[in-house]
Structure 1
Amino acid sequence: MKVVAFKRELQGTGASRRLRISGQTPGIIYGGTEAPVTIALDHNALYHALKKEAFHSSILDMEIDGQVQKVLLRDFQMHAYKQLVLHADFQRVDANQPIHVKVALHFENAEVSPAVKLHGATISHVANEIEVSCLPGKLPEFISVDLTNMDVGTTLHASDLKLPEGVSILTHGTDLTIATASVPAGQVSAEAAAEEKK
């Protein structure tokens, strides 16, 4: 994905306010061997890009004054109640250095799992994203979570995920719970009552 930005000379609250009034969003690029650079981005283009999942977990081509560099969106601030992006932070990416990024999880095949199909259970998504480490070129847009074999009372952990080649999960010492399957409480009591009537 490509992002066009412009170098920003003026800094400070007043300059940032004027920038936002003119339809632009202040930002910064940091990391790597170069000094941080303050930038301005087109607000509407950035606002719509932020709605796309891929924008948050893809290596972006940032063009500044005709030069393109690889960056990763690291943070952004939204206005408390307006649809307004106040600031965006980007980090330069070195193709040979591993990066740590949060990647979205896409849950698949819940409807064919024994938990749902046979027992009418609910599969709860405990985590919707997971932190991974990989080289920039190996960064996945998302990680698929196959729920085909989930049954009642089972738990799916990070260690159960099938990861793309060259991608590892940063567990921080714990095997993160990804999803659980359980039968809703009301349904259990209704089934028990039906059994008693037999």
Structure 2
Amino acid sequence: MQIEISANKRVLQGTGASRRLRGSGKVPGIIYGGENPAQPIELDHNNLFHQLKLEAFHASILSMEVEGQKETVLLRDIQMHPFKPLVLHIDFQRVDPNKKIHMKVPLHFINADIAPGVKLSSGLVSHVLTELDVSCLPKDLPEFIQVDLADLAAGNTLHLSDLTLPEGVEIPSLIKGDNLPVATIVIPRAVASDEAAAAVAATEVPTTVQKKEGIAKEGEKKDAGKKK
């Protein structure tokens, strides 16, 4: 899915100009990279704010139209207001279709409910990573990477090397030898305590029975002695 976005060239620059721009419902931004010089732009705040809510907007090749000219770009940086729902500035990078790009893509976890560690051991899935830095050509960039937890048992960990990647996609950290953990299933303390208590109780039952049997036999011996 290719997302389209429109912008206009920004002529006035500086702190004061940017403040006035925001006051009129616009967002100052810039497009950089490639063979062309950096181009200051302005975008409609409301449209941009709604698009930023889309997960794919942050990890997809975007088609940007700037006054009739289209460019292929990636979202690279966003500056938000500290407490207001307001975009202060946004950066885009031009994309060369023949050069590999580095991009963070989200991880989508599936089949957690049928994982043995969850279904059989009442464990909880811990997401060690929620996004992943990948390297690929722009045409191969995935919107997300799927992580299948169907075979994950309690106490086990899923690593980068266990992931199934789309064709043409590489994980730089894995190439460097860093096989990082992605997800694991942990047993909650309450469940672990209950299981430990049940195990202790199971070992105590035979002991109790043996004691009772021992007392009974001792009683029988004393009765037999009295009869004699």
Equivalent residue in structure 1 for 2:163, among 144, 161, 164: 161
CA distance in structure 1 between the aligned counterparts of 2:158 and 2:47, rounded to whole angstroms: 38
Aligned partner (choices 187, 198, 203) of residue 194 of structure 1: 198
Q: Cα offset for 1:175?
A: 1.2
1:173: Cα distance to partner? 4.0
Matches within 5 A, 1:24-35: 24-35=26-37
Secondary structure at 1:80's aligned position in 2?
coil
Name the CA distance, whole Å, in 2 between partners of 1:62 and 1:81.
28
**How far apart are 1:127 and its partner, in Å?**
0.5
Match of 2:58 in 1: 56
Aligned positions of 1:29-178 closer than 5 A:
29-171=31-173, 172-178=176-182
Higher helix share: 2
Residue 191 of structure 1, CA deviation: 1.2
For the pair shown, the structure with the greater C-alpha radius of gyration is 2
Q: Once the 2 structures are TM-superposed, how far is the Cα of residue 126 of structure 1 from its aligned partner?
A: 0.6
The Cα RMSD (Å) is 0.8
Could you say what secondary structure the match of 1:133 adopts? Answer: strand
Larger fraction in strand? 1
- What TM-score do the two structures reach when normalised by structure 2? 0.85
Aligned residue identity for 1:82: K
Letter in 1 for 2:179: D
What do residues 89-147 of structure 1 show as CA deviations (whole Å, max 9, x unaligned)?
A: 00000111100000000000010010001000011001000000000001000000000
1-structure distance, mates of 2:200, 2:161:
41
Cα drift, residue 195 of structure 1: 2.1
Q: Could you list the per-position Cα deviations for residues 140-192 of structure 1 after superposition, in whole angstroms to 9, with x for gaps in the alignment?
A: 00000000010011111111100000000121541121101110112101111
CA–CA distance in 2 between the matches of 1:168 and 1:191? 42
Name the amino acid aligned to 1:160.
D
Identity of aligned residues (%): 59
User: What TM-score results when the alignment is normalised by the length of structure 1?
Assistant: 0.98
Q: How many residues align?
A: 198
- Structure 1 segments of 4+ aligned residues over 6 angstroms from their partners: none
Q: Determine the C-alpha separation between the residues in 1 that align with 2:9 and 2:93.
A: 15
Q: Which residue number in structure 2 is paired with residue 180 of structure 1?
A: 184
Deviations 1:42-72 (A, max 9, x none): 0011111111000000000000010101000
Name the residue aligned to 2:221. none
Residue identity matched to 1:4:
S
Deviation at 1:197, TM superposition (A): 2.1
- Matched residues in 1 for 2:160 and 2:43: separation? 36
